[in-house]
Structure formats: structure tokens, C-alpha cells
Amino acid sequence: MRELIATGGRIAARIAGGAIALVLPPRCPGCGAVTPDDHGFCRDCWQSLDFLGDDGCARCGVALPFAPPGTICAGCMVDPPALDGVRAAVSYGPLARHVVMRLKHGGRPGHARTIGLLMERLIEQEADAILVPVPLHRWRIWRRGYNQSALIAGVLARRRGLALAVDMLERRRATPILRGLGRNARARAVRGAFAANPRRVAELKGRRVLLVDDVHTTGATANACARALKRAGAAEVRLISWARVDLARVELALGDATGDVDK
């Protein structure tokens, strides 16, 4: 009897799932076209995404066409950043921007899974690493309802079985929009804005950290986070993100829309 009830429950669940899929079919997060799978892009949107490989600087991620993996750019050799590495899933273009803006400002937290699925390949053999999202100021979390980087980090943690510390970093104060500021001005704007949570610093000692963000723009915020984590004892901090911004190219293509990549 118990097995019969269980079988009936599974059949009912499949019927219900089929009915939901019929009424509310999966749709492309880019254009809204019906797709076979949840969180999957349609063919046209998939082909329009500019997936990034390992041909950028191993420290800051700046594009280095035809350079072998592991190459470090001249700027990082002269003035090494706090980050030990930077990788992004895609280049920041119209579609990548659309998806992340829907996540951040369009009330679509489910897009975090879409993004996380495509960021998963950025994580290699990291069994001992800890995932730490870039924190938002509490007022932005209050307005938005969530930290988009924390949602993405949660997807990655579940899929890869990694430790997740959502509250490892604290944003002590709000920071201004960094677009248009010079390198020194950007550094001043984020100085002292981040600190490790004193209740969790013991977990950082000697650990490798994967810092998770939605969009990597100037690197000022991520490097400020890396400095705070290393001061608290982290052995290594590398950034993984959904999209990397080529500022010159994006400003030409999107104009003032580049301002919205700030948190």
C-alpha cells in the first residue's frame, strides 16, 4: 500500500510538472523565447554571448590577444594588484548586461542560477576554497531585497560542493559610482569600505578565496575586497564574475549605460 501511494505521488508530480510547463514554459532569459530547459538561452541569444577564455592577464584579466595562459600584463608586473587572478564567463555586451540588470533591478533572482550555471566552468579543482560574494551596502540590500553576488555564489556552492561565507566581508560604507574616475581616485573611493567579519576571520587563515561578483569593471572594488581578506589571513584571493567590462569598447557601444555596472 505504501509503495502504491508513493508511485501515485510520483505520477501526480509528473503530471503537475507537465501542466506547469505547458502553461508556463521555460523562456530564454535574454529574449523571452520559449526554450526546452529552465535557465537556458535560445540559440540566437546563446550565439550572441561572447564567452571568454584564458587569453587575458592572469592577474587583472585585461585582454591580451594571442597571449598564452598565465601571461601577466606589464601593468600588473609594475604594480601588482591585490587579486591573485581574475576570470569572467562572458564579455559585457548588450545581452550580458540585460541578464544582469534583470537580476539586479528587475526582480528576477532566478537569473542568478542562469548566471551561476555559466560561471561554473571558471572553478577548477578548488575543493579547499571558500566562496565569498562581494558585499552590498545594507541600504542597497534593503531596496533590492537581496545581494545578487550572494545568490550567484550560492548556486556555485551548491553545484560544486564548496564552502560559502555570505557574511565573510562587510561593506562598512556606501561607495560612489567609480566610472569616469582615474585609478588613484577609484582607489581612494573604496579605501576602508570593506572589512572581514571579525566573527569569521578564523575561517580565513591560510585559505584560498574565490571572490564572486556579477560584473568586473575597473577592479577597484574587487581589489579592495581582496586586501581586506588578505589582511584577515587569506592566502590567496581570486575573482570570478559573470561579465568582464572592456571599458573602451562598452562605452562606445552602450554609451552612458556603462554607469549601471556599478553595484
Mean pLDDT of each 10-residue bin along the chain, 263 residues long: 53 47 77 86 95 88 84 91 95 96 93 96 86 92 94 97 96 77 78 92 94 93 96 96 78 49 59
Candidates 82, 102, 98; CA nearest to 90 is 98
Residue 142: burial class (beta carbons within 10 Å; 0-12, 13-18, 19+): exposed
Residue 100: per-residue pLDDT: 97
* Total-model pTM: 0.84
Residue 139: per-residue pLDDT: 85
Residue 179: per-residue pLDDT: 66
Q: What is the pLDDT of residues 115-154, one digit of tens each?
A: 999 999 999 877 789 999 999 988 889 889 999 999 999 9
Residue 13: per-residue pLDDT: 46
Report the sign of the C-alpha dihedral through residues 18, 23, 29, 33, in that order: positive
Residue 67: per-residue pLDDT: 83
Where exactly does CATH 3.40.50.2020 map onto the chain? 51-261
- The residue type of 61 is G
What's the CATH class of domain 51-261? alpha beta
Cα–Cα distance between 254 and 101 in angstroms, integer?
14
β-partners of residue 243 are: 90, 215
CB contact at 8 A, 208 and 127: no
- Quote the cell numbers at residue 59: 592577474
